[in-house]
């Protein structure tokens, strides 16, 4: 379930980072594609944003739906193809503020899973082809919408403010499924980071390379933008210096502390596989 009254941050941060020099044609109004300067190079920057005029009603509040999945896949694939012969592949920054995938009878009937698989595959292929892919979580990063976009990045940078929410489903949906009140979920999250929604708790799990605390998350100041650009630059450098896979998320200090069981399972599966 999408909370249409909640503030959205993706459009503001895309506008703050985009230099206006690059425009892709033929994309839906819900997908922004531009360029941003990071140090001595130019990175592509994309964001799924609300579009009240979207063809599909379930994708008018920032959800990732049929058009968004395929359009994002097309934009990223085009970037990979244009850089195919380059010695140094351009970075890709994905600005994330997505409340969910676009649930709906029509979406499921036509093949929402295929659209989300297309964007997932395109971003993963960009990462494996040598493009440093960095996600910037500025608001919500919920469910399949996050899985099919920002979770495929080499590095994740997240803002730290009250509007951040990272989870497999919205808090309202989680309360219904678990038959708990939202207050009970919040109390449980105080001792179990995996149940929490805030950016700091998500960072404790080891997937976030850097947290940035903005002064004005919904209307970023020049200092906010400068701090985020610096964090994105550091993430690009780190991505280029390490493996293009996602192993860094299990090797971080946070993962070693909070995801010890996940690490142990993977070690035992690998040992059994090689035996």
pLDDT, tens only, 191-244: 777 777 788 888 888 889 999 999 999 999 999 999 999 999 999 999 999 999
The 10 Å CB-count burial string (b at 16+, else e) for 130-146 is: bbbbbbbbbbbbbbbbb
CATH superfamily of 10-244: 2-enoyl-CoA Hydratase; Chain A, domain 1 (3.90.226.10)
State the DSSP string of 213-252.
--S-TTS--HHHHHHHHHHHHHHHHHHHTS-SSSTHHHHS
Task: Give the pLDDT of residue 254.
Answer: 77
Identify the H or E element spanning 30.
Answer: none
Task: Give the pLDDT of residue 178.
Answer: 82
pLDDT, tens only, 61-105: 999 999 999 999 999 999 999 999 899 999 999 999 999 999 889
Helices (H) and strands (E) counted in the chain, each on its own, are 12, 7
pLDDT of residue 124 exceeding 60, the answer is: yes
Residue, of 251 and 9, whose pLDDT is higher? 9
Q: What is the DSSP letter of 83?
A: T
SS3 state at 140: strand
pLDDT, tens only, 9-68: 999 999 999 987 555 568 899 999 999 999 999 999 999 999 999 999 999 999 999 999
pLDDT, tens only, 45-62: 999 999 999 999 999 999
Enter the tokens of residue 152.
Answer: 């495929």
Nearest by Cα to 236 from 217, 213, 209, 203: 209
Q: What is the DSSP letter of 194?
A: G
- Ordered by start, the domain boundaries in the chain are 10-244, 245-275
Q: What pTM was estimated for this model as a whole?
A: 0.89
pLDDT of residue 1 exceeding 80, the answer is: no
Distance CA 203, CA 222 (A): 25
pLDDT of residue 169 exceeding 90, the answer is: no
């Amino acid at each position: 379930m999408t909370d249409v009254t909640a503030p959205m941050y993706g459009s503001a941060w895309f506008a703050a980072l985009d230099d206006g020099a690059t425009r892709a044609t033929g994309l839906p109004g819900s997908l922004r594609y531009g360029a941003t300067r990071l140090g001595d190079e130019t990175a592509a920057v994309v964001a799924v944003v609300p579009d009240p005029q979207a063809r599909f009603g379930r994708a008018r509040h920032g959800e990732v739906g049929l058009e968004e999945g395929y359009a994002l896949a097309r934009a990223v694939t085009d970037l990979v193809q244009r850089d195919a012969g380059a010695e140094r592949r351009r970075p890709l920054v994905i600005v994330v503020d997505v409340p969910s995938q676009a649930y709906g009878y029509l979406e499921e009937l036509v093949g929402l899973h295929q659209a989300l698989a297309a964007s997932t595959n395109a971003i993963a292929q960009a990462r494996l082809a040598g493009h440093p892919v960095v996600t910037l979580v500025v608001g919500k990063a919920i469910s399949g919408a996050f899985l099919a976009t920002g979770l495929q990045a080499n590095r994740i940078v997240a803002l730290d403010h009250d509007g951040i929410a990272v989870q497999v489903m919205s808090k309202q949906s989680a309360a219904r499924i678990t038959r708990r009140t939202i207050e009970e979920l919040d109390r449980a999250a105080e001792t179990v980071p995996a149940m929490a929604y805030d950016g700091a708790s998500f960072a404790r799990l080891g997937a976030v390379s850097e947290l940035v605390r903005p002064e004005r998350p919904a209307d970023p100041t020049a200092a906010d933008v400068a701090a985020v650009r610096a964090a994105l630059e550091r993430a690009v450098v780190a991505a280029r210096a390490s493996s293009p896979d996602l192993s860094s998320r299990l090797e971080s200090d946070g993962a070693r502390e909070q995801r010890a069981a996940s690490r142990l399972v993977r070690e035992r599966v690998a040992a059994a596989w090689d035996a």
